[in-house]
Structure 1
Amino acid sequence: MKPHVICHMIVSLDGRIHPSRWTSSPDGASKAWSEVYEAIHEEFGADAWLVGRVTMAEMTKAKANPPGAGTQPPRPRHIARRDAGSYAVTIDRSGKLQFDKPDIGGDHVVVLLGRDVPDSHLAGLVAAGVSYILAEDEAMSIDPLLEVLERDFGIRTLLLEGGGATNGRLMAAGLVDEISLLIAPAIDGADGVEGVFDAGERLAGKAELSLLSTATRPHGLVHLRYAVAR
């Protein structure tokens, strides 16, 4: 078993995901659009949200945490807290992220790590009160890690919220069950800019999308929801 994964994103009309680059609109602005996005995030009532390393680094901005002393950090997982109301999950294959506290906005942090991350980094996470799960294989397959999130943390529904490479990786692996796309009345237009799904490969034949609902939202936004079948 794994959590029900919903990819929840806000995008421009051309599918780009960085609002700071978008055109403006008389219907609204990036702050108002962000508020609607967060309101939908809360409506889902998910147990956790997941972002990639780059996105999480923008949230934490933490310097290196001194490693804990004395005991060797546990492998393959460290569960600092099982009873959190919600969890902030991130993928950090090489162990680059640092944390100076165990939560993001009250959501307990769980880091999904590559199998060979050194003990020194794990000790720093333990000292910060952060939970972690090490991958079972060198390729860092994500599906076994999601199973641990469901089994050991009780995470039944997980919102996948970028960036594009992280979204694309889970979509290509067949791990996304639903897409929630909030479309803003804006355009990016630049070449080589990150999109919702940057899988590094064609996804044709790997997923089928079925429309679940459409809804207009305040400030010129349109909310689309799709079921993903494989």
Structure 2
Amino acid sequence: GVDGPFGRCEDWRAENPFFFHAPARPRPYLALKLAVSLDGRIAPAGGRRVWLTGPESRREVHRLRAGFDAIMVGRGTWVADDPRLTARGPVTPRVPPVPVLLDRWGRAGPELRVLGAEADARGVLVTVGERAAELRRRIGDRADIAAVPTTPHGFDLAALLAELHGRGLTRVLCEGGGRVAASLLAARLVDRIYLFIAPVLVGSDGVPAFPLGATDGGPEAAAAHAAPHRNPVRAGGSPSPARGWQTRIDPVRFGDDTHIVLDRST
């Protein structure tokens, strides 16, 4: 970065990623948030819901959510967790983030909490064209429905993000699950990774954070910086790249957990 009277440009980029992204790309700024165990799992075998991270990390997640226009999750996450996808805590967003549910097969029902009275904002259900009418009949007017094209591997992710961008959602936080995360990383659509690492071991039969395998250096970069007492910034403050990712913000401890922020460098 360039040194100046107001600090390094890289520091400004780390603190204001949305500002630097918006003029450059006609798609939302996309951040990925994952809570993982030391052995890279997001849940025990069977996908049953447990808290891997502590309350301090969960409070930080709500603070992060308040800075985004939308919170997006894949089907596995909303089926297993039935999340509210709201920003709760000391930071109140000016506009509540929009919950975005990926629902390729059109199976969401009106019982989901994001479609009920607890919702802070009207959600968006993303499905394919042939499922849209059936989904509308099932949920009524509880949410907007967006139909996007698919590829042999699932949603056309570029088209999905273009759809969200067209709805004015320019800052999107994806909270998993693992398949969605791996697909977005493989497509090089993730701009930042928020990784919360819990000091627990789930076991090899647990649900992996990236079930499609290591993609685009994201998992490796995260693992390279996962040691709780390691500072991944070189002497002098310059970022340490790891296969296309770099840290511009030092790791932070929230309770017993380690929080690492990785930004795409290429």
TM score, norm. by length of structure 2:
0.64
Amino acid at match of 2:103: D
Among 87, 92, 106, the alignment partner of 1:95 is 106
Cα contact 1:217–1:223 (8 A) shared by 2 = yes
Give the partner amino acid of 1:33: G
**Which structure carries more strand by proportion?**
1
Query: Are 2:148 and 1:135 aligned?
Result: yes
Distance 1:109 1:18, change over 3 A: same
Is the alpha carbon distance of 1:138 and 1:180 closer, same or farther for their aligned partners in structure 2, counting shifts above 3 Å?
Answer: closer
What residue is the counterpart of 1:150 in the other structure? 165
For residues 39-188 of structure 1, the aligned pairs below 5 Å read 39-43=60-64, 45-60=67-82, 85-100=96-111, 102=115, 105-117=119-131, 119-125=133-139, 127-137=140-150, 139=152, 140-152=155-167, 154-188=168-202
| Cα distance in 2 for residues equivalent to 1:33 and 1:196 | 18
**TM-score of the two chains, using structure 1 as the length reference:** 0.73
Q: Which runs of 5+ in 1 are unaligned?
A: 22-28, 62-82
What letter is aligned with 1:222? T
**Bigger relative contact order, structure 1 or 2 (CA pairs below 8 A, ≥6 apart):** 1
Distance in 2, Cα, partners of 1:20 & 1:35: 25
Tell me the distance in 2 between the aligned counterparts of 1:34 and 1:115.
40
Q: Given that residues 19 and 30 in structure 1 are in contact (C-alpha distance below 8 angstroms), is that contact kept between their aligned partners in structure 2? A: no
Cα distance change of structure 1 residues 189 and 58 upon mapping to structure 2, 3 Å threshold: closer
Task: Please give the alpha-carbon distance, in whole angstroms, between the structure 2 residues aligned to 1:46 and 1:118.
Answer: 26
**Contact 2:53/2:257 (CA < 8 Å) preserved in 1?**
no
Amino acid aligned to 2:144: S
**What are the ranges of 5 or more consecutive residues in structure 2 without an aligned counterpart?**
1-25, 84-93, 219-242
Contact persistence 2:100–2:123 (CA under 8 A): yes
Is contact 1:60–1:99 with CA below 8 Å preserved after alignment?
Answer: no
Is the contact between residue 30 and residue 172 of structure 2 (CA under 8 Å) also seen in structure 1? yes
CA distance in 2: counterparts of 1:19 and 1:119, whole angstroms: 36
Contact 1:8 1:41 in 2 (8 A): no
- Residues 135 and 32 of structure 1, relative CA distance in 2, 3 Å threshold: closer
**CA–CA distance in 1 between the matches of 2:56 and 2:110?**
26
Distance 1:228 1:212 in 2: 10
Letter in 2 for 1:151: G
Q: Could you tell me whether the CA contact under 8 Å between 2:71 and 2:175 is conserved in 1?
A: yes
Q: C-alpha separation between the residues in 2 aligned to 1:58 and 1:175? A: 25
SS of the aligned residue for 1:117 comes to helix
- Name the CA distance, whole Å, in 2 between partners of 1:229 and 1:31: 29
For the residues of structure 2 that align with 1:137 and 1:143, how far apart are their CA atoms?
10
* CA distance, structure 1, for counterparts of residue 260 and residue 165 of structure 2: 26
Distance in 2, Cα, partners of 1:203 & 1:49: 22
Aligned-residue sequence identity (percent) comes to 25
Q: How many positions carry a matched residue from both structures? A: 198
Partner residue, 2:261: 225
1:189 maps onto 2:203 in alignment = yes
Q: Residue 3 in 1 paired to residue 28 in 2?
A: yes
Query: Which of 30, 36, 43 is matched with 1:18 structurally?
Result: 43
Task: Please say if 1:215 is aligned against 2:259.
Answer: no
3-state SS of the aligned residue for 1:190?
coil
